[in-house]
Amino acid sequence: MEPLKIDKENLKDILQVISKDYKTFCPQKTDKGFRDWRIINRDTEFDSEFFSYFDEVTLPKSSIKPFFFPQPETLLTFNYDPKAEDAFLPKQCLDKEPDKIDTVLFGVRPCDARSLILNDMPFKDDPYYNIRRKKIFLIGISCTKQSSTCFCLWTGGSPLGTDGLDIILHPLDDETGYVIEFISKRSEELKDTIFPEKFCSKASQSELDEIAARKEKSKSALKSMPNLAEQLKQKELMAVYNAPFWQDVAMSCINCGACTFLCPTCYCFDIQDEVVKKRGRRIRYWDSCMFPLFTQHASGHNPRGDKVKRVRNRFLHKFKYFPDRFGPVSCVGCGRCIKECPVNIDIREVIRNLLAVK
Amino acid sequence: MKAFSERIKEEAKRLLEQKEVEAFIGFSKGSLPMTTRPFVARTPEDTEKLVFNSFCVMNLARYLPEVLKSLEPQRKPQDPLPKGPLPKVGILATGCWSRNIVVQIQENQIDRDRVVIVGIKGAGMIDKRKVFAHVGEKEISAVEEKEDKIIVKGPEYEVKIAKEDVLRDNCQVCVHFDPVIYDILLEAPGAHEREPKIERFKQIEEIEALSINERWAWFTKEIENCIRCYACRNACPLCYCPTCFVDDSRPQWVGKSIDPTDTQIFHILRAFHMAGRCTDCGACESACPMGIKMRLLTKKIEKDCLNFFDTEAGLSIDVMPALSTYKPDDPQDFFITEKLFSKDSK
Amino acid sequence: MASNKKDKNNVGWQPKIVAFLCNWCSYAGADLAGISRFQYPPNIRVVRVPCSGRVSANLILDALKSGADGVLVSGCHPGDCHYISGNLYARRRFAILKSFLEFIGIEPDRIHFAWISASEGEQFAKLVTEVTKRVKALGPATKLVKRLPEV
């Protein structure tokens, strides 16, 4: 599929075209001052503040996790009213058109998109998640600047990574526009609807060379990085588990769930029934391994009642148990946990400590 | 500020060397600009890591009960406490944190005899979100404090901002900046010029002036981004219930999802449980990843406690928190029976 | 009743008011009202509690969340509490709660507090009449009511 080029001025037109047919989300400034995924509708102002997202290095506050793994997600509904037509028959809430794309996420960073590949592994047989994977179309944008909290290269990602994306836009150095690269098979089918010819042109050779050079640079940077997953898989489990640095890391943790909820690859959940009068629903909602109640048994015993055990568990899950079981580390290096942790627990320091364990 | 950091290091080192305390709770340097990490120094060498600056926003009193407990000898719940003095803990305490320590003593969470308080007359803390708003979405690589200004450096820019323009909301309205309980007292640079920048309850009065539906719209909008991470609850030194009402299941007071009604009830009840105890330290707001201003709820209750009962949280160890006590002449004109059946119409 | 879609102007709607009555005074007063045949509207649903001091903010908000259009809490007169000081602690708690709920935008006439002693049967009837009148004027509660989304 031939790469295309689009000028900056035409981005607005593309977004208006897409938002007519699909629910389109793009990271926009909220009145709290941070950027977050918001729908594009008639009220959206396509001003310089809107577009500065594509030039700067900001990550939206939430990852794309809420689209694929929403909270709450209604799994099934039930009705105790004998007169209702679905009385006493639980109804599973699966989408009626599972193969039809209905949502477009525009402006996904490669790290967030890569989290989908990682989450696909534990959610392999989950019908709700898999339907959303089919219904949501991702248009990403590669990163030209690096934030102080970014570390995607450590985890095997890349600022120009295409994992999980359908289409990716690469900003050009001269800031005139973007090169559009088509990645997935279904992106070819939608090419004419999303990027109609009147707004795009064929990408020139010099533009393609510029992007290729950037990709080469990122590849060689990746090669020079230690392979985190391999190195951690080779560590002996009990050595890592009993390492002395966990006390220092966990000391300041306040066991809030901020890191887990903002992390694109944290996927723990709990299921509960909610009943209001005669109607009820079974919902899946986000739970956090940082909460003391997470491992509370009905007997009252709590295997991870101590704070240090919970903190240790979270990092070991991401960097030892997950790679041991599935292969890659369960982290994309987006750095949200570093930015948002109220007590500044730095996951990069934990990784360094883990690598240093004999 | 660096000299003051050194002063704190000296005090902490002295206390640990002379075995007056077995642990000292302070802050260490964070890995990002404008962040600090709560830190427990357990040896005199550890104190080298201590820092103190205008970005120490977490409330250290939150760690006091758990550090004290961790120093007690291991024992089963039914065993009695061992005889003899138990290890002590040193802690830094600005005005608001010291008042939290007073409330913790009043509520029997900690023992006054086991705490050595290094009181700090502080100049207020800076809200890093206000600094971010100042520079827009540009990357910040370093922030340096210089007297009454901060110098913010980033790739290809440098800007000076006056500290008072980016002071935290609660520090701007603070009227009790001196620690009320301490064993040693230190004065931070800029403290002697301290005075409230904005009238204490101005933000609350502005909201009270709105109509009832405007207030509901304000409240629902403020709370709508909440992801129920409970960072606010966990950062609070007075949220120490072994089982928070949120985790109760029989009955279940609040649902677990981010349904708006459940989230609203969580915030209403949490603010209410702080009634008469909250000292407006702002740790909840600083911890919130979504920038929700839940401080405005607790501030309203603080205003009511002051106006109705003439009490403030933690000012003196002899005055119990507002809702833990009563007076025979407490106001009751809001009771409908007072209006319906006043002495004249009987 | 509230979900009757044809009743757009809530003509047939009757408010549901949850009344927390303390066992020793207010509940006895309500009982006396019944025995003495004082008429009052049937909209209250009584929950008997040992003391008004037991009524916490959790309970009142749970009533609102479950769809109560109004909440009434009634206890012994100050000085007469069966448990000596339960209602005195409650008085402070209710003052804060009422002011706070009004601050966040809940109509003040939805939550009411009262002192009713065991001999005040007539006053109880008058109280319930007044409270029902005020709550009815506000219409059905919508603000803190938990609803399941339509799926």
Helix (H) or strand (E) holding A106: strand A103-108
Q: Tens digits of per-residue pLDDT, B303-333?
A: 999 999 999 999 999 999 999 999 999 999 9
Q: Is the pLDDT of residue B278 over 70?
A: yes
Q: Is the pLDDT of residue C4 over 70?
A: no
- What pLDDT score was predicted for residue C1? 44
Q: Is the pLDDT of residue B342 over 80?
A: no
- What's the gap in Å between the CA of C62 and the closest CA on chain A? 12
Is the distance from CB of C118 to CB of C32 less than 8 angstroms? yes
DSSP code at position A87: B
C-alpha count within 13 angstroms, C-beta hemisphere, residue A223: 6
Comparing A185-199, B95-109, B159-173, C121-135, the range with the smallest average pLDDT is: A185-199
Q: Is the pLDDT of residue C2 over 50?
A: no
Domain map (residue ranges) of chain A: 4-223, 233-355
Q: Do A274 and C151 touch (CB under 8 A)?
A: no
Q: Is the pLDDT of residue B188 over 50?
A: yes
Chain A environment of B289 (Cβ under 8 Å): 61, 258, 261-262, 340
Domain map (residue ranges) of chain C: 17-138
Q: Do C144 and B253 touch (CB under 8 A)?
A: no
Give residue B345's pLDDT band: very low, low, confident or very high (50, 70, 90): very low
Average pLDDT, chain B: 91
Assigned token pair, A265: 């690859």
Q: Is the pLDDT of residue B92 over 60?
A: yes
Task: Tell me the residues of chain A between 266 and 295 that have a Cβ less than 8 Å away from chain B.
Answer: 270, 272, 274, 283, 285-288, 291, 293
Q: Is the pLDDT of residue B85 over 70?
A: yes
Q: Do A93 and C146 touch (CB under 8 A)?
A: no
Give residue B343's pLDDT band: very low, low, confident or very high (50, 70, 90): low
- What pLDDT score was predicted for residue C10? 62
Assigned token pair, A118: 């990682």
Please, what's the b/e burial string for A187-206 (b: 16 or more CB within 10 A of its CB; e: otherwise)? beebbeebbeeebbeebeee
- Answer left, alpha or beta for residue B190, where phi above 0 means left and psi between -120 and 50 means alpha: left
> Could you give the CA distance from residue B55 to residue B58 in angstroms, rounded to a whole number?
9
- What pLDDT score was predicted for residue C57? 94
Is the distance from CB of B197 to CB of B162 less than 8 angstroms? no
The predicted model gives C63-79 an average pLDDT of 95
Q: Is the pLDDT of residue C6 over 70?
A: no
Which of B28, B107, B79, B59 has its CA nearest to residue B314?
B107
Report pTM: 0.93
- What pLDDT score was predicted for residue B158? 92
DSSP code at position A319: I
Q: Tens digits of per-residue pLDDT, B39-53?
A: 999 999 999 999 999
Higher pLDDT, C148 or A55: C148
Average pLDDT, chain A: 89
Domain map (residue ranges) of chain B: 1-125+175-197, 199-346
Comparing A260-264, B204-208, B209-213, B239-243, the range with the smallest average pLDDT is: B239-243
Give residue B177's pLDDT band: very low, low, confident or very high (50, 70, 90): confident
Q: Is the pLDDT of residue A265 over 80?
A: yes
Assigned token pair, A333: 């290096």
Third-level CATH fold of C17-138: Rossmann fold (3.40.50)
C39 burial type by CB count under 10 A (0-12 exposed, 13-18 middle, 19+ buried): exposed
Q: Tens digits of per-residue pLDDT, A88-134?
A: 888 888 888 888 899 999 999 999 999 999 999 999 999 999 999 99
Strands (E), chain B: 23-29, 36-41, 50-51, 89-93, 115-121, 142-146, 149-154, 157-162, 184-187
Q: Do B234 and A255 touch (CB under 8 A)?
A: yes
Chain C environment of A282 (Cβ under 8 Å): none
Is the distance from CB of C135 to CB of C17 less than 8 angstroms? yes
Q: Is the pLDDT of residue A322 over 90?
A: yes
Q: Do B31 and A343 touch (CB under 8 A)?
A: no
Q: Is the pLDDT of residue B346 over 50?
A: no
Q: Tens digits of per-residue pLDDT, C122-149?
A: 999 999 999 999 999 999 999 999 988 8
> Could you give the CA distance from residue B125 to residue B144 in angstroms, rounded to a whole number?
14
CA distances to A30, B259, C58 from B248, in Å: 33, 17, 11
Give residue C8's pLDDT band: very low, low, confident or very high (50, 70, 90): low
DSSP code at position C50: S
Q: The complex's ipTM?
A: 0.91
* Radius of gyration (C-alpha) of chain C in whole angstroms: 16
Q: Does A147 touch chain B (CB under 8 A)?
A: yes
Which of C97, C64, A70 has its CA nearest to residue B259?
A70
- What pLDDT score was predicted for residue A49? 83
Q: Is the pLDDT of residue A45 over 90?
A: no
Sign, CA dihedral B274-B280-B281-B287, equals positive
Chain B environment of A148 (Cβ under 8 Å): 32-33, 139-141
Q: Is the pLDDT of residue B29 over 60?
A: yes
Is the distance from CB of A272 to CB of A283 less than 8 angstroms? yes
